Amino acid sequence: MEETSREAMESKEERGDMHDLESDTLHTPLLQRRNTLSASHLALVGAKVSHIESLDYEINESDVFKHDWRNRTNIEVLQYVSLKWGMAFLVGLLTGVIASGINLAIENIAGYKMLTVVNLVREKRYWAGFWYFTGVNFALTAFAATLCVLFAPTAAGPGIPEIKAYLNGVDTPNMYGANVLIVKIFGSIGAVAAGLDLGKEGPLVHIGACISSLLSQGGSEKYRLNRKWLKYFKNDRDRRDLITCGSSAGVCAAFRSPIGGVLFSLEEVATWWRNALLWRAFFSTAIVVVVLRGFIELCNSGKCGLFGRGGLILFDVSDVTVTYHINDLLPITIVGVLGGVLGGIYNILLPKVLRVYNLINEKGRLAKLLLALGVCLFTSVALYFLPFLAPCMPCDESFGSACPSSGRSGNFKQFNCPNGHYNDLATLLHATNDDAVRNIFSTSTPNEFRTASLLIFFGIYCILGLITFGIAVPSGLFLPIILMGSAYGRLVAKAFSAYIHIDPGLYAVLGAAALMAGIMRMTVSVCIIFLELTNNLLLLPIMMFVLLISKSIGDGMNPSIYEIILDMKGLPFLDAHPEPWMRNLTVGELAAVKDSVIYLGVVEKVSTIVEVLRSTSHNGFPVIDQGSDSENRVKEIHGLVLRSHLIKILSKKWFLKERRRTEDWEVRERFSSVELAEKAVKLEVDLTEEELEMYVDLHPFTNTTPYTVVETMSVAKAMVLFRQVGLRHLLIVPKYQGSGIDPVVGILTRQDLRAHNILGAFPELAKKAHKN
């Protein structure tokens, strides 16, 4: 981070903009941008600055691929299909087991912590309770933050923006390794058990993606845990599909919501979708549900320590009959409006906090650790002392033995109150996040919480929700949003208590869903997740109503929080909707402001290939068939060859002594399509002078069917094509072919289609866009 910051400042100094650098620190992206097309790109992946490249989702239809495709046996096809379903099964199984283990660990660690605090408070040893509560939280946070800072910086945060970028076609390095998976698991346990205002839901999505990635490449090459029999999946396309299944499995594991998990991937993270992928994602989530159900049955038998019946999130409100009345229309509408407005405000404030945190994190590892510990200290002080502000409330006789409760969970916590009384604020604050949501969602308890307690709870969790996200620990946004939303939903029910006919606990559910739609801008998946979460289908009509209102208002204020974070991190995500001004610009005009295209011949000299690879960072090169030496001959496009394929050719020294076309058998002896689909290493090969004078036949390795667009096509149309097909390169061809005309005008990459890059290269468009 420090090196990147110095580079950004040096770049500013060269342009004489140091004054702008100082004044705009809190209003610029986390990494400085260059106003050029196809610039070398850096982005924040997790909490680590990394070099970003695009992924090869396009099928490379070279002669090698076509031959292998035609000669596949039925056994090979069956093996490939079976492995895909087997991988989907393993993703669901491992994600479910790991999620259950995380739940067990969090519930037991937090449970013993809460029991000890309750006993100390009951003995009126308040300061001893505070120091114990704070000390345990401090140690757990230090454990989680140290893991992230020292061993896996990319494990910090939820990981969902990076997954969203990966499925969009952006390679996010060091994001899915074995070390990240381990740190994510244990870091989530420490951070959530410490009582920080974050959830394990986002990290579980990342954990599912990590499992998928490791399975798709046969394990971890770094730790020599690689299996060659999984060679079919060492390509970007199959890895993308499996990571999509992993994301669905992660959401399912977090909320026990199989359909919601599939819809989350479809609506929020996946850019590319098809029916076969839908089935495999659903299969993975079904396996997760079976595993979770098995653990729940095990825990119900009392074999899980303090885990008990309260773990594996399920906020069941199925015992409530939802009856609709015209009087509920206004408060429900207010819940939806507040969800959109508060969500938009949250999306304005959180980026400002993240920019401040970025300035702190740039100072090094110790600064990251101290920031996390500072947030932990503030959280512990607030959660411990605020319940003392609330007066004790007498238990209603109708509550029976449930009031007061003196354990670590349950409504009506006695805390510092005498027998027969409970502390409503302690019920919400002296509990794990899951228990707090379960308590505030509780039904048939309209007068359990005072208005002042709900306001305090809402206010402190709004503050904690802003300052906790962004510290160097695995964290998720789902549960903090649910806590904030449920509080204001219950407050609305309080305000209209004389008129409403729907239980106040259900208003808490509606508030949580509305705020999630207002911040994340998801509707369908959120609706299904909450229906599966609460086990009450009667909520469907009013749930849809508040979600539509909340999302509509939020969209009018700003983008979703994940889109904002993607932009701040510098991840080149291509949105589904191009900017309106892109209709007025052609791809030919974009090509005119780029460097000239570098061509290779169909049979090229080794020295030329080496020079091109060393002098450029391009990942694709047009291959031109120039025919005879006649100047009047029209040049033809043979296709596009990838940098990774050229490196493999050079590393194997597959050279010819004379300029000629090779036979098919010569290529098949040394190369296969599966091998060519793997990631390439850096160019590290020693060549003699004699070898440099030899030739390489590029015919067998060239993608003869690359996607091309005519130079008069609008940038908006090209961007839609680029995104929907999942391209890395898009060739621009001239409108007219003829002698002396280059067959390729230019090559479009992901960076060329980014709005800020285009506006930087065309200042007049920037002025018009600003006016509009």
pLDDT of residue 3: 40
Q: How is residue 68 written in tokens? A: 């292998």
**Would you place residue 609 in the very low, low, confident or very high pLDDT band (cuts 50, 70, 90)?**
very high
Residue 592: count other Cβ atoms within 10 Å of its Cβ: 12
Q: Report pTM.
A: 0.89
pLDDT of residue 409: 60
pLDDT of residue 398: 67
Q: How is residue 633 written in tokens? A: 């001959």
**Would you place residue 313 in the very low, low, confident or very high pLDDT band (cuts 50, 70, 90)?**
low
pLDDT of residue 519: 95
pLDDT of residue 446: 80
Is residue 642 within 8 A of residue 619, CB to CB? The reply is yes
**Would you place residue 22 in the very low, low, confident or very high pLDDT band (cuts 50, 70, 90)?**
very low
**Would you place residue 767 in the very low, low, confident or very high pLDDT band (cuts 50, 70, 90)?**
low
Provide the sign of the torsion angle of the four alpha carbons 41, 44, 49, 54, taken in this order.
Answer: negative
| Residue-wise pLDDT tens digits, 203-215 | 999 999 999 998 8
From 607, 578, 617, select the one nearest 753 (Cα to Cα): 578
Q: How is residue 348 written in tokens? A: 């304005």
Higher pLDDT, 5 or 255: 255
Buried b / exposed e over 445-481, threshold 16 CB at 10 Å, is beebbeeebbebbbebbbebbbbbbbbbbbbbbbbbb
Least confident among 327-336, 451-460, 677-686: 677-686
Res 174 pLDDT > 70: yes
Least confident among 545-549, 685-689, 702-706: 685-689
**What is the phi/psi pair of residue 262, to 5°?**
-65, -45
pLDDT of residue 416: 81
pLDDT of residue 17: 44
Is residue 558 within 8 A of residue 520, CB to CB? The reply is no
Q: DSSP string covering 653-718, please?
A: T--BSSS-PPPHHHHHTT--HHHHTSPP--------HHHHTSEEE-GGGSBSS--EEETTSBHHHH
Residue range 614-633: average pLDDT?
76
| Residue-wise pLDDT tens digits, 132-156 | 999 999 999 999 999 999 999 999 9
Res 24 pLDDT > 50: no
Residue range 12-30: average pLDDT?
44
| Residue-wise pLDDT tens digits, 94-144 | 999 999 999 889 888 988 898 899 889 888 899 999 999 999 999 999 999
**Would you place residue 664 in the very low, low, confident or very high pLDDT band (cuts 50, 70, 90)?**
confident
Distance CA 21, CA 135 (A): 40
| Residue-wise pLDDT tens digits, 54-81 | 888 888 888 888 888 888 888 888 888 8
User: What residues are paired with 49 via a beta bridge?
Assistant: 44
Residue range 175-198: average pLDDT?
93
Res 738 pLDDT > 90: no
| Residue-wise pLDDT tens digits, 384-439 | 999 999 888 888 776 666 677 666 566 778 788 888 888 889 888 988 777 888 88
Number of residues that make up the chain:
772
Q: What is the mean pLDDT of the chain?
A: 85
**What is the phi/psi pair of residue 419, to 5°?**
-60, 140
Counting residues of the chain whose pLDDT is more than 70, the rounded percentage is 87
Distance CA 441, CA 387 (A): 19
Residue range 735-754: average pLDDT?
86
* Rg over CA atoms, the chain: 29
Give the alpha-carbon dihedral of 743, 746, 747, 753, to 10 degrees.
-140
Distance CA 311, CA 192 (A): 13
